[in-house]
Structure 1
């Protein structure tokens, strides 16, 4: 990915920068379609974003052995993307894909920078035209162009951010900070497309463990007294620790963190890791907020004020119920971390990286 020289007056690139899109096609009909698609795709992208030089490369590779689902295809394509040092990858496959028994035309994973196009779902009539339209839409999704985003200037900025590397002298934390500040809109689009608030709902073991721990804490008199005596500082510390615990369990335990294989893909790997952490953190915070709400409602309905006051040793006020809900939700989140440790790695990845299906029929 080349970087154009900057104008001394504006600080913006003086010439076009390259965005490399890899078209990975299975042998047979997919690679024939990809060869036909390459020129049209480059032209369509160039028309939308003339300030960027689009480099579309076709590679023949089956990636996976059938039967395989979209998650396996995305993982294999991600490995190829990093090894080839592309910016984005679109897989053209002849494997039929389905979600909940519905035929899927395409999937896009903005965090991975990978999309999958299923040829069988396009039908026999107008396949080339439909393939081009769908692929252009997939690239827009990979760029973080969410549905309903009608601001072409914002999308052009995201493309430029993808096509421009930070200074080569930036290392470590400084490099990551530059990636974050320079690609904030792209990062937000990637995370939003992931729908992180749905993360923990898809992890059954983590959710079950969290609810079980919350119920146990809610009906235990010792927890009542601890919540009463902890104070806001300790409650905050326990809450923060519980969130960090489950986030670390998900990211480290499921191997969601990537390492750059070469200097050229550092920026893309940094964006991937930032988007992964943001997705997991938002998902866990959503779980924490839901658990707090449930704990507060449960304590008000299930813990009689007289019994609560007897356990505390003083009259119970609304602040006491809030403290109990706070500690209960923190302990429930710790329980969720234990449950997350039992989740299958593939289940965690599937939950963390929600694809956008375009279903038909």
Structure 2
């Protein structure tokens, strides 16, 4: 984003301006920071570095007066605080770039003297407008640093935040991160595929029972990973806001781990299907099950074996270290924040 923004901002502003962008990365935890504190923090940092405009981006969901914050601007001090999860889990880079462009152009506008309100207090465009967009302006207190704020609300807004948090965790990283669990699942699947008892069970199971086996094995794997690695987030406060925040974190954890486990399940199913094509003999299969071997039996067997192998993978995940599972389930910044919170609680 920093490479393409200077030219785009210069072309859009139309005042022959030149924009120089510097990128700084700093972690902060959800338990010790809130939007007002963050605004003061970036205001002090901007003053110390002599920056004209500071746009702070975070993949942490921020809360303001019971709502989930999208962006907060202070035209007087040239500050913008942008939370990425409310932008959703799709086209995130495009939406984030549009949001940053709108924020910078708004902050770069002239600030009128006399306290009559900033010129940028007009509604922002870009990802902040649209019939299906749950983002809306919110009131700002007179004593706050900010003068313009956008939040999300309602079920649609909650879903966007949840998808944004899941995308930040990158659930596809769970597959290579659970090497020992996958090894156990593959070994279980290989043995189960050549077991005649498994053949008989797979041939006798109906589709609803196969679906139940899938749901049960995937749920067992998800629950085992969350409990064994202590991924469940508990609220340290008794306030409704803290409980809502903990529920949002736990929902993102369940969805993140669930997507990773489902990807593993589909991979196991494909591998077991290829293995069944190679190993099964129609005459031996007919002798053991008393039914001829049809093409659909390969898929039925690989489907059932994937459920059995997933249970074996859940047991094998106990061989993984808690740090390895957390590294696979969370983004690097989320790991840093959770580690910092644990250190704070220990102190």
Q: TM-score range by the shorter chain?
A: 0.5 to 0.7
Q: Tell me by how many angstroms 1:186 deviates.
A: 2.0
Conservation of the 8 A alpha-carbon contact between 1:305 and 1:316: yes
Distance in 2 between residues matched to 1:224 and 1:253, nearest whole Å: 32
Looking at structure 2, the residues matched to 251 and 162 of structure 1 have their Cα atoms a distance apart, in angstroms, of: 37
1:190 to 1:326, Cα distance in 2 relative to 1, 3 A: same
Residues 310 and 188 (structure 1), Cα distance of their counterparts in 2 relative to 1, 3 Å cut: same
1:110 matched to 2:87? The reply is no
TM-score (norm 2): 0.57
Counterpart check, 1:188 vs 2:163: yes
Q: Find out whether 1:239 has 2:185 as its counterpart.
A: no
Shift of 1:283: 0.8
Offset, 1:144: 5.0
Output aligned runs, 1:45-60, within 5 Å: none
* Counterparts of 2:292 and 2:161, CA distance in 1: 52
> How many angstroms does 1:209 deviate by?
1.0
Number of residue-to-residue matches in the alignment: 232
Which of 264, 285, 299 lines up with 2:262 in the alignment? 285
The list of structure 1 runs, each at least 4 consecutive aligned residues, that deviate by more than 3 angstroms after superposition, is 83-92, 108-113, 138-145, 148-164, 178-182
Deviations 1:148-198 (A, max 9, x none): 44664674378958989xxxxxxxxxxxxx875432112212212322122
- 2:195 maps to which of 214, 220, 236: 220
> Counterpart of 1:213 in 2: which secondary structure?
helix
Q: Deviation at 1:295?
A: 1.0
Which structure 1 residue ranges, 5 or more long, are not aligned? 1-69, 93-107, 114-134, 165-177
Residues 192 and 346 of structure 1, relative CA distance in 2, 3 Å threshold: same
Residue 295 of structure 1: aligned partner? 272
- Larger radius of gyration, structure 1 or 2? 2
Q: CA, structure 1 residues 269+159, in 2 after alignment: closer, same or farther (shift >3 Å)?
A: farther
Name the residue aligned to 1:41.
none
Instruction: Verify: 1:325 aligned to 2:302, yes or no.
Output: yes
- 5 Å-filtered alignment, 1:55-204, equals 77-78=28-29, 81-84=30-33, 110=59, 139=82, 141=84, 144=87, 146-149=92-95, 152=99, 155-156=127-128, 160=135, 181-204=156-179
With over 3 angstroms needed to count, the CA separation of the structure-2 counterparts of 1:84 and 1:159, relative to structure 1, is: farther
CA separation of 1:140 and 1:308: change in aligned 2, threshold 3 A: same
Structure 2 residue runs of 5 or longer lacking an equivalent are 1-24, 43-56, 63-78, 100-124, 140-152, 335-347
Q: Does 1:274 align with 2:251?
A: yes
Paired position in structure 2 for 1:229? 204
Aligned mates of 2:181, 2:264 — CA distance in 1: 10
1:111 and 1:181 map into 2 onto residues whose CA distance is 18
Whether 1:264 aligns to 2:213 is: no
Once the two structures are superposed, residues 100-152 of structure 1 have per-residue CA deviations (whole angstroms, 9 ceiling, x without a partner) of xxxxxxxx983677xxxxxxxxxxxxxxxxxxxxx98x955465572244664
The Cα of 1:280 is off from its aligned counterpart by: 0.7
TM-score (norm 1): 0.55
Confirm or deny: 8 A CA contact 1:143 1:159 kept in the other structure: no
Indicate if the aligned counterparts of 2:218 and 2:310 stay in contact, CA closer than 8 A: yes
After superposition, the C-alpha distances for 1:18-57 in whole angstroms (9 at most, x for unaligned) are: xxxxxxxxxxxxxxxxxxxxxxxxxxxxxxxxxxxxxxxx
Aligned match for 1:312, one of 271, 289, 292: 289
* RMSD of aligned alpha carbons: 3.7
CA distance in 2, matches of 1:111, 1:283: 21
| Equivalent-residue separation in structure 2 for 1:236 and 1:87 (angstroms) | 49
